[in-house]
């Protein structure tokens, strides 16, 4: 079976777009020159707008005297040279064959393709270009500011779906970045779109073709705020003319900021300005749609966004209302007051001069060049829903609609494939792998996690949330329920959209593999279609650092939406250097990263064992899950059994576990560990044994099941172990809970063993503490029976003996339960320690 190749390594033949990677080689500065030797404008250097982060570090390291006098020189055009593959004979100079050099000119207002680590290049418009007097070694001197367009595939994966053309792009409201000219790939064409994508009325397979079927031609119909998932009516050609004209009259403080290319958003409650004139707008043609007959519904070829009934535009032409709105954009675009009106096209409405004079005298000037945009009808409805559910007033707490967590809420999809057998459905509901829609007894924790994550999404900021608790307390299940609820709200446009990534420390071969998993999600790589990325963890780390830090002068797209990462089993990602957890906790602290990390671990004191720099990044936002108590375990079991009965006809529903039996199971498990999974296993095994009898299980039946589970091979083996072998196993469990990792150093295990000799020995047991050689023999006996494993190999033999790692080769829960059951003194002392 062949391994699927990643997009960065596939051939580009028969594809509509180039596959582009950010340049990594040294850049030849001679290939990047200004068209004019004299700058268009010069002003004092402004670190906020003119410098990259690395440039600011160099700038702040200068003395005050060296900072003074630094200037920024602005230009309108630059030339980028490229070496042709065709060689020419230079007879006049060298008499040798040399490569022909060609130059491409780029000017302010040109739309370009920008290199990206994603599968497709990013799209942007050049809004400024300059160079400063600040010299930084190893860095390009020229700078370009790009205002981004967003492809539909670059938007958050969890959002309200809408239809789009295959070459459609969205103009971002105010997303821009400073880049090196070497990030520019080539020119591209962005035109005002003529028709909105619409759903097919046929049930057959269909594909929407774009108006311009060329790989470097795009159409722009809407502006987008990708962080909030809101679309706005937008005229790209009109906006381009206004921005280029407004640049000519900018004040010195506005040079290089790119603000004239941003849009001014009309709020949901604010009425748009009235049109001064009404002029009929031509109705554009529909997009061509190709329909293939005879294809079943489940084989419909959906686009990258998918399809839903909530399309924002369903008409095949632009209505008169939309045409009037285009004129409103022109009237309210805050043009500079000049007499050079001939620069605008004839079809752009003119504002009477008398109104200009009155407006200039009575109202403050708006920021020049900013186009007024208003939400689309569906976005207006989304904003109204958010205003009803999320209050922006500081005096009121932000509240989101939260699904009730009081019942099992089992959906019919969990049981529709099962027969109407109450025993079978009950065992299915009691399986530890069954994930209910709601989690009883975790309402407060659910609400706390839900509120924390939703607030970070609404604010557009990053943050870390640390969740701790012993195994079986519902930590991961609660987070999954929160994510399901947030996905539902995001798809209904009630919260901001986001991208979700889950990383389980037990499912990755090494800690650094988490970088590649996160980069696959952030870059929009389709794992189901193209397989996992074949790139090293070092390359993924470099790409992630560049992405969350703003690109570092290289193209990365707008990257303006949030990403939620669940790091489950954080204990397994802890390494000696702790560099992986540091990076995951450090990225959310970077301004503009919009990364939310939910870290889940089995130990409360894990932050205390982190280094100072990691602990400072984690913050103080921690949530602890306490072990389940008797009443809570009863409620969990009853809720699952009730959910199974609700899926049956009323005539077939019956009681399978008596109330006393459920209470006995809850008391037994809560006294040992409070692990809900253990209680579900006991209930499920009881039903398996009672199903042939066809009667409800009683307390005596439950006792027999618990006794049988205690007589497992592990429990039988522990009863045959010597006192010090059991003490060593108890010492290992103590060390593992304290350290939060499964691999324990031999020195720590021996130290804990000596401490437990006094704590776990009774009156008839020997109290003499064993020597090192005797402890070595005890460990060798456990290793010989394969109960424990010791690190071996050439590298391990070079280590000191106390540094070698030891792991448990038995089920931890079975060992712990067997040790608790064998001795009442051990149960109390081990449970309290």
**Predicted confidence (pLDDT) per residue in 77-87, tens digit:** 999 887 554 45
CATH number of the domain at 549, please: 3.40.50.300
Domain identity same for 591 and 740 = no
Q: What DSSP assignment string belongs to 509-538?
A: SSTTHHHHHHHHHHTT--HHHH-S----HH
Residue 813 corresponds to which tokens in the numbers above? 């829960």
CATH number of the domain at 35, please: 2.30.30.490
Q: Kindly report, residue by residue over 643-689, the tens digit of the pLDDT.
A: 888 877 777 788 889 999 999 999 988 887 788 888 999 999 999 99
Domain assignment present for residue 326? The answer is no
Supply the pLDDT for residue 275. Answer: 42
What is the C-alpha separation between 245 and 41, in angstroms, rounded? 16
Domain assignment present for residue 137? The answer is yes
Residue 786 has pLDDT above 80, yes or no: yes
DSSP at 666: H
Supply the pLDDT for residue 453. Answer: 93
Is residue 808 within 8 Å of residue 722, measured between CB atoms? no
What is the C-alpha separation between 317 and 299, in angstroms, rounded? 29
What is the C-alpha separation between 74 and 39, in angstroms, rounded? 6
CATH number of the domain at 814, please: 1.10.10.10
Domain identity same for 638 and 783 = no
What is the C-alpha separation between 188 and 122, in angstroms, rounded? 11
Supply the pLDDT for residue 21. Answer: 35
Supply the pLDDT for residue 29. Answer: 56
CB atoms within 10 A of CB 650: 7
Radius of gyration for the alpha carbons in the chain, expressed in angstroms and rounded: 33
Residue 338 has pLDDT above 70, yes or no: no
What is the C-alpha separation between 769 and 780, in angstroms, rounded? 18
Residue 564 has pLDDT above 60, yes or no: yes
User: Phi, psi (5° rounding) for residue 97?
Assistant: -80, 135
Place of tokens 């209302």: 321
Looking at residues 301-322, what average pLDDT do you find? 37
Range of the domain at 666: 630-712
Domain assignment present for residue 564? The answer is yes
What is the C-alpha separation between 805 and 827, in angstroms, rounded? 27
What are the helix (H) ranges across 363-436? Answer: 377-389, 422-429
Partnered with residue 596 across adjacent β-strands are 463, 564
Domain identity same for 176 and 252 = yes
**Total domain count for the chain?**
4
What is the pLDDT of the chain when averaged over all its residues? Answer: 76
Residue 327 corresponds to which tokens in the numbers above? 């004129």
Domain end among 661, 694, 712: 712
CA 293 to chain centroid: 38
CA 370 to chain centroid: 31
> Of 488, 485, 487, nearest to 498 (Cα)?
487
Supply the pLDDT for residue 445. Answer: 92
Sorting pLDDT into bands at 50, 70 and 90, what band is 130?
A: very high
Is residue 634 within 8 Å of residue 500, measured between CB atoms? no
Supply the pLDDT for residue 414. Answer: 67
Supply the pLDDT for residue 99. Answer: 52
What is the C-alpha separation between 738 and 746, in angstroms, rounded? 15
What is the C-alpha separation between 393 and 213, in angstroms, rounded? 48
Is residue 515 within 8 Å of residue 184, measured between CB atoms? no
Supply the pLDDT for residue 231. Answer: 93
> Of 791, 777, 786, 664, nearest to 713 (Cα)?
786
Domain identity same for 511 and 596 = yes
Query: Looking at 150-164, 300-314, 387-401, 501-515, which range is the least confident one?
Result: 300-314
Supply the pLDDT for residue 96. Answer: 55
Domain assignment present for residue 404? The answer is no
> Of 138, 143, 153, nearest to 177 (Cα)?
143
Domain identity same for 148 and 238 = yes
Q: pTM above 0.85? A: no
> Of 829, 606, 590, 823, nearest to 723 (Cα)?
823
Residue 97 has pLDDT above 70, yes or no: no
Domain assignment present for residue 736? The answer is yes
Strands 263-265 and 371-373, by their bridges, are: parallel
Strands 122-132 and 142-150, by their bridges, are: antiparallel
Domain identity same for 502 and 568 = yes
Q: Residue 739: which residues within 8 A CB-CB, separation 6 or more?
A: 603, 609, 748
Residue 638 has pLDDT above 60, yes or no: yes
Residue 345 has pLDDT above 50, yes or no: no
> Of 602, 514, 523, nearest to 563 (Cα)?
523
Q: In a 3-state reduction of DSSP, which class is residue 504?
A: strand
Supply the pLDDT for residue 368. Answer: 56
Strands 122-132 and 71-75, by their bridges, are: antiparallel
Query: Looking at 4-18, 92-106, 754-768, which range is the least confident one?
Result: 4-18
Domain identity same for 813 and 676 = no
Domain identity same for 19 and 133 = yes
Supply the pLDDT for residue 402. Answer: 52
Is residue 647 within 8 Å of residue 425, measured between CB atoms? yes
Is residue 491 within 8 Å of residue 476, measured between CB atoms? no
Q: Kindly report, residue by residue over 40-63, the tens digit of the pLDDT.
A: 989 999 888 888 888 888 888 888
Q: Residue 738: which residues within 8 A CB-CB, separation 6 or more?
A: 603, 605
What crossing angle do the helices spanning 699-710 and 812-822 adopt, rounded to 10°?
Answer: 110
Residue 170 corresponds to which tokens in the numbers above? 């969205």
Domain assignment present for residue 439? The answer is no
Sorting pLDDT into bands at 50, 70 and 90, what band is 110?
A: very high
What is the C-alpha separation between 104 and 748, in angstroms, rounded? 66
DSSP at 178: E
Task: Please tell me the number of Cα atoms within 13 Å of 376 on its side-chain side.
Answer: 22
Query: Looking at 183-192, 301-310, 417-426, 461-470, which range is the least confident one?
Result: 301-310
Q: E-strand spans in 326-389?
A: 371-373
Supply the pLDDT for residue 115. Answer: 85
Highest mean pLDDT among 211-225, 300-314, 676-690: 676-690
Domain identity same for 507 and 536 = yes
Domain end among 352, 373, 394: 373
What crossing angle do the helices spanning 824-832 and 723-739 adopt, rounded to 10°?
Answer: 20
What is the C-alpha separation between 263 and 222, in angstroms, rounded? 12
Supply the pLDDT for residue 11. Answer: 37
Looking at residues 221-235, what average pLDDT do you find? 91
Domain end among 601, 625, 649: 625
Domain identity same for 54 and 131 = yes
Letter string b/e over residues 624-640, b meaning 16 or more CB atoms within 10 A of that residue's CB: ebebbebebbbbbbbbb
Residue 525 corresponds to which tokens in the numbers above? 């790589």
Strands 189-192 and 463-469, by their bridges, are: unpaired
Sorting pLDDT into bands at 50, 70 and 90, what band is 209?
A: very low
Q: Residue 115: which residues within 8 A CB-CB, separation 6 or more?
A: 20, 21, 22, 23, 121, 122, 183, 184, 185, 554, 555
Residue 606 has pLDDT above 80, yes or no: no
Distances in Å between the alpha carbon of 608 and those of 421, 577, 603, 662?
A: 50, 15, 10, 38
What is the C-alpha separation between 624 and 615, in angstroms, rounded? 17
Is residue 731 within 8 Å of residue 707, measured between CB atoms? no
Task: Please tell me the number of Cα atoms within 13 Å of 172 on its side-chain side.
Answer: 27
Looking at residues 574-590, what average pLDDT do you find? 88
Domain identity same for 586 and 464 = yes
Sorting pLDDT into bands at 50, 70 and 90, what band is 94?
A: low
Strands 122-132 and 111-114, by their bridges, are: antiparallel
Domain identity same for 580 and 665 = no
What is the C-alpha separation between 172 and 230, in angstroms, rounded? 10
Sorting pLDDT into bands at 50, 70 and 90, what band is 556?
A: low
Is residue 331 within 8 Å of residue 349, measured between CB atoms? yes
CB atoms within 10 A of CB 656: 24
Q: Left, alpha or beta for 676 (phi > 0: left; psi -120 to 50: alpha)?
A: alpha
Q: Residue 214: which residues within 8 A CB-CB, separation 6 or more?
A: 189
Distances in Å between the alpha carbon of 100 and those of 87, 97, 621, 669?
A: 6, 9, 60, 80
What is the C-alpha separation between 670 and 627, in angstroms, rounded? 8
Greatest CA separation found in the chain?
A: 107
Looking at residues 483-498, what average pLDDT do you find? 92
Q: What DSSP assignment string belongs to 537-578?
A: HHHHHHHHHHHHTT-TTS------SEEEEEEESGGGG--SS-
Residue 67 has pLDDT above 70, yes or no: yes
Domain assignment present for residue 444? The answer is no
Is residue 625 within 8 Å of residue 474, measured between CB atoms? yes
Give percent above pLDDT 70 in the chain: 73
Question: Environment class of residue 239 by beta-carbon count within 10 Å: exposed (0-12), middle (13-18) or buried (19+)?
Answer: buried
Domain assignment present for residue 455? The answer is no
CATH number of the domain at 668, please: 1.10.8
Residue 603 corresponds to which tokens in the numbers above? 């130990």
């Amino acid at each position: 079976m062949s391994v699927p190749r990643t997009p960065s390594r596939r051939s580009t033949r028969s594809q509509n777009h180039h596959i582009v990677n950010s340049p990594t080689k040294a850049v030849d500065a001679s290939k990047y020159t200004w068209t004019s030797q004299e700058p268009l404008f010069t002003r004092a250097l402004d670190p906020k707008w003119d410098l990259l982060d690395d440039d600011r570090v160099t700038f702040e390291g200068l003395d005050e005297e060296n900072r003074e006098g630094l200037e920024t020189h602005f230009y309108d055009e630059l030339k980028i040279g490229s070496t042709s593959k065709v060689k020419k004979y230079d007879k006049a100079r060298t008499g040798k064959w040399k490569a022909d050099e060609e130059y491409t000119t780029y000017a302010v207002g040109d739309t370009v393709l920008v290199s990206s680590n994603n599968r497709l290049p990013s799209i942007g418009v050049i809004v400024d270009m300059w160079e400063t007097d600040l010299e930084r070694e190893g860095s390009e001197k020229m700078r370009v500011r790009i205002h981004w367009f967003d492809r539909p595939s670059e938007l958050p994966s969890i959002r309200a779906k809408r239809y789009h053309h295959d070459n459609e792009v969205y103009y971002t409201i105010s997303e821009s970045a400073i880049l090196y000219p070497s990030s520019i790939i080539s020119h591209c064409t962005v035109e005002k779109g003529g028709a909105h994508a619409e759903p097919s009325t046929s049930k057959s397979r269909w594909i929407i073709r774009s108006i311009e079927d060329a790989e470097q031609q795009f159409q722009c119909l809407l502006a987008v705020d990708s962080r909030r998932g809101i679309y706005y009516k937008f005229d790209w050609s009109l906006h381009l003319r206004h921005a280029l004209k407004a640049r000519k009259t900018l004040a010195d403080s506005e040079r290089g900021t790119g603000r004239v290319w941003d849009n001014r958003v009309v709020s949901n409650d604010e009425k748009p300005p009235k049109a001064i004139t009404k002029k009929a707008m031509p109705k554009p043609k529909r997009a061509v749609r190709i329909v293939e007959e005879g294809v079943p519904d489940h084989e419909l070829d959906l686009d990258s966004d998918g399809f839903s009934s909530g399309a924002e535009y369903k008409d095949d032409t632009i209505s008169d209302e939309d045409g009037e709105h285009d004129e409103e954009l022109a009237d309210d675009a805050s043009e500079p007051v000049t007499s050079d009106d001939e620069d605008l096209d004839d079809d752009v409405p003119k504002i009477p001069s008398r109104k200009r004079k009155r407006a200039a005298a009575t109202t403050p000037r708006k920021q020049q060049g900013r186009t007024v945009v208003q939400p689309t009808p569906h976005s207006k409805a989304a904003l109204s829903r958010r205003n009803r559910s999320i209050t922006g007033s500081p005096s009121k707490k932000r509240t989101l609609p939260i699904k009730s967590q009081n019942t099992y809420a089992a959906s019919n999809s969990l049981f529709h494939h099962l027969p109407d057998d109450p025993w079978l459905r009950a065992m299915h509901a009691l399986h530890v792998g069954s994930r209910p829609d709601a989690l009883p007894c975790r309402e407060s924790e659910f609400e706390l996690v839900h509120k924390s994550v939703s607030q970070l999404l609404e604010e557009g900021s990053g943050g870390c949330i640390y969740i701790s608790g012993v195994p079986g307390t519902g930590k991961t299940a609660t987070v999954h329920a929160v994510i399901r609820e947030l996905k539902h709200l995001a798809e209904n446009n009630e919260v901001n959209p986001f991208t979700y990534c889950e990383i389980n420390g037990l499912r990755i071969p090494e800690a650094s593999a988490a970088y590649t998993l996160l980069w696959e999600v952030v870059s929009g790589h389709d794992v189901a279609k193209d397989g996992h990325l074949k790139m090293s963890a070092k390359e993924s780390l470099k790409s992630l650092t560049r992405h969350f830090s703003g690109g570092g002068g290289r193209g990365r797209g707008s990257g303006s939406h949030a990403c939620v990462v669940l790091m489950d089993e954080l204990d397994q990602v802890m390494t000696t250097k702790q560099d992986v957890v540091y990076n995951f906790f450090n990225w959310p602290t970077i301004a503009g990263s919009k990364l939310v990390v939910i870290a889940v671990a089995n130990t409360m004191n894990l932050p205390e064992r982190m280094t100072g720099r990691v602990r400072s990044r984690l913050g103080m936002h921690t949530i602890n899950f306490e072990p389940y108590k008797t009443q809570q375990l009863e409620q969990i079991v009853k809720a699952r059994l009730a959910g199974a009965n609700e899926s049956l006809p009323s005539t077939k529903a019956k009681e399978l576990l008596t109330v006393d039996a459920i209470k006995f199971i809850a008391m037994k498990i809560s006294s040992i560990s409070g692990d809900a999974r253990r209680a579900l296993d006991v209930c499920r095994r009881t039903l398996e044994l009672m199903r042939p009898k066809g009667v409800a299980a009683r307390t005596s039946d439950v006792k027999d099941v618990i006794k049988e589970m205690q007589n497992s091979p592990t429990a039988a083996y522990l009863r045959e172990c010597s006192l010090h072998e059991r003490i060593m196993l108890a010492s290992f469990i103590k060390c593992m809970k304290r350290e939060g990792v499964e691999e324990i150093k031999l020195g720590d295990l021996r130290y804990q063993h000596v401490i437990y000799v006094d704590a776990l020995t009774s009156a008839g047991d020997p109290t003499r503490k064993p020597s090192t050689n005797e402890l070595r023999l005890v460990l060798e006996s456990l290793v010989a029976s394969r109960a424990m494993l010791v690190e071996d190999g050439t590298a391990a033999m070079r280590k000191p003996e106390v540094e070698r790692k030891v792991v448990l080769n038995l089920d931890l829960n079975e060992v712990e339960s067997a040790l608790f059951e064998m001795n009442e003194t051990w149960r109390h002392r081990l449970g309290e320690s």
